[in-house]
Amino acid sequence: MKKFSTKWTVWFCGWVFPLGLLHISGMQSASAGDQPRPNIVLIMADDMGFSDIGCYGGEIQTPNIDRLAAGGIRFTQFYNTGRCCPTRSSLLTGLYPHEAGLGHMVYRDRGAGYHPYLNRQTVTIAEVLKDAGYRTMMAGKWHVGHEKGQWPTDRGFEHFYGIHIHVDSYFKVLPGCPVYHNDRLVIDATETPSNSLHPGQPWYTTDVFTDWSLKFLDDAADDERPFFLYTAYNSPHWPLEAPVENISQCEGRYDEGWDQLRREKLERMIQMGVVDADTTLPDSQCPAWADLSASDQNESAFRREIYAAQIERMDQNIGRIIEKLNQTGRLDNTLILFLSDNGCCAEGGMFGYRWNENTKGNHDQWRNQSGRSSSMGEAWSNASNTPFRLHKRWVHEGGIATPLIAHWPAGIDQPDRWCRRPGHVVDVLATCADVAGAMYPTQFNGQAIKPTPGVSLKPAFESVDDSLADSRSLFWEHESHAAVRQGKWKLVSLNATAPDAWELYDIVRDRTEQNDVASSHPKVVQRLRDQWTRWARQANVLPWPKDRVEKK
């Protein structure tokens, strides 16, 4: 068992919390007196918009996630990195994506900050907690390294069931997406076609990843160690695929279209206190629903019904995890964190990747197309990200704002409240280490480990102080989309390679980024741009090829 004695001081919102000289061991208690260390369950959704779920003003029925919110804390200003692989790398390592070596995706190696895997100057949540005496388990989508030596079991997880890369179908295993249990291939559509699954068989990824999460929880019942479970769903990422019974429950819900949905969501968000009362909707840049043909309305509404069904099925499965913890008496001292890896996805154009034929009302035909590219499109994505601008892959608020819910009955004071302090996925590792009494090391497996910019969220669990006192800067870069946030200011660009492309927003007064005040505050622009440039240089950010910069 490794032991670290590095003093780690956590800064959070202007406060200092010294964790002291801690030695990690399996018997160490992080809490005062004899209170056992908490179990930790981390649940990640994939491509889910900021305001999709009910407890953030969404129309989608999510009673189990809402239950976590009612018994915990909801964060209004928590951020991801805007894309799948980069967010997962930051979530797991507590570093910015480029620092972790995965500044883009896992399909190409551009060196330095752009490897298709986590570099060895990182340590994962699982590695930190395992060395602190935790049992570590994962089910679902890994997507931070698909070659042997880069798998979950190589990075601290003792038990794993899922996929190393991405999911092309919820209903069947397709070539290039094999399923593994620990290091053993269990299903591969190419090498063992007799094991391939199709829509007629009882297989749905969200259900299966939950089945294994529950199995891991059952197996952990006989282990004296506390546990860390990471359940990474591929829902509601396209392709659009959900069980028919869930789709049927959503039928007719979206016949009024995206314009009406955005207005209704904003009204609920204001009533709930998610956003300020004076918040207005930015221009959607989408066609008016009333201007669509009846056929296009039917097809588009059906797509949204499937998307909603995917989330509702995920919520039902999260309910299974909650109930398992409750039945076994472990819910009270389990920290559950729920968030999304990025904003909703606009891929596929305004109406999404198109099917060959209209599938509204023809579920059999739709199921036969399982595994084909099918998405919801930009217009519905815009509604999912209400009230913000843009989508996944961009670093305006629509791309990087995520709901974050923390539920821990034994550790959260005054539940059912909002926390309005800014936070970032780099904070998740620091939070898990803090509540576990673990240390973030300076060295691991003979490698020097980069210091984390993350801070613990635990003080927010213990205090209702809602002041905006965090003086640190938060940084983003993805495909030349760039941003830095410090205090109330956010500097953001659609193309960081263009010298005059930076926009400045007072994010406290203008969270929806509609009033660019860059011309009125040139010194603020210069200061933040200089900060971003220094960070980009230190973090191994490279200029994105100009011909691949997406504009909006």
> pLDDT, tens digit, for every residue of 108-125?
888 889 999 999 999 999
pLDDT, position 199: 47
Angle subtended by helix axes 205-220 and 294-327, to nearest 10: 10
473-551 adopts what CATH topology? Arylsulfatase, C-terminal domain (3.30.1120)
pLDDT, position 460: 95
CB distance 141 to 162 below 8 Å: yes
CB distance 206 to 313 below 8 Å: yes
Domain boundaries of the chain, sorted by first residue: 39-346+379-463, 473-551
Question: pLDDT tens digits, residue range 368-391?
Answer: 555 566 899 999 999 999 999 999
Question: Among 115, 143, 159, 407, which one carries the catalytic annotation?
Answer: 143
pLDDT, position 546: 62
pLDDT, position 459: 94
CATH node for 39-346+379-463: 3.40.720.10
pLDDT, position 370: 58
**C-alpha to C-alpha distance for 399 and 500, rounded to whole angstroms:** 22
Residues of the chain predicted below pLDDT 50: 1-33, 193-194, 199, 468
143 counts as catalytic: yes
**C-alpha to C-alpha distance for 210 and 213, rounded to whole angstroms:** 5
Residue 447 one-letter amino acid:
Q
Burial class of residue 367, CB neighbours in 10 A (0-12, 13-18, 19+): middle
The secondary element (H helix, E strand) that includes residue 365 is helix 363-368
pLDDT, position 203: 83
Question: Among 13, 55, 84, 419, which one carries the catalytic annotation?
Answer: 84
For residue 73, give both structure tokens. 């804390």
For residue 284, give both structure tokens. 């959607």
407 counts as catalytic: no
The secondary element (H helix, E strand) that includes residue 40 is strand 39-45
For residue 382, give both structure tokens. 């815009």
Query: Residue 225 half-sphere exposure, CB side, CA atoms within 13 Å?
Result: 19
Cα angle: 175, vertex 180, 186; to 5 degrees: 75
CB distance 376 to 346 below 8 Å: no
pLDDT, position 172: 79
Direct distance between the N- and C-terminal alpha carbons of the chain, in angstroms, rounded to an integer: 51
For residue 301, give both structure tokens. 């509404």
- Tell me the whole-structure pTM to 2 decimals: 0.91
CB distance 427 to 93 below 8 Å: no
For residue 349, give both structure tokens. 């154009």
For residue 183, give both structure tokens. 């290091």
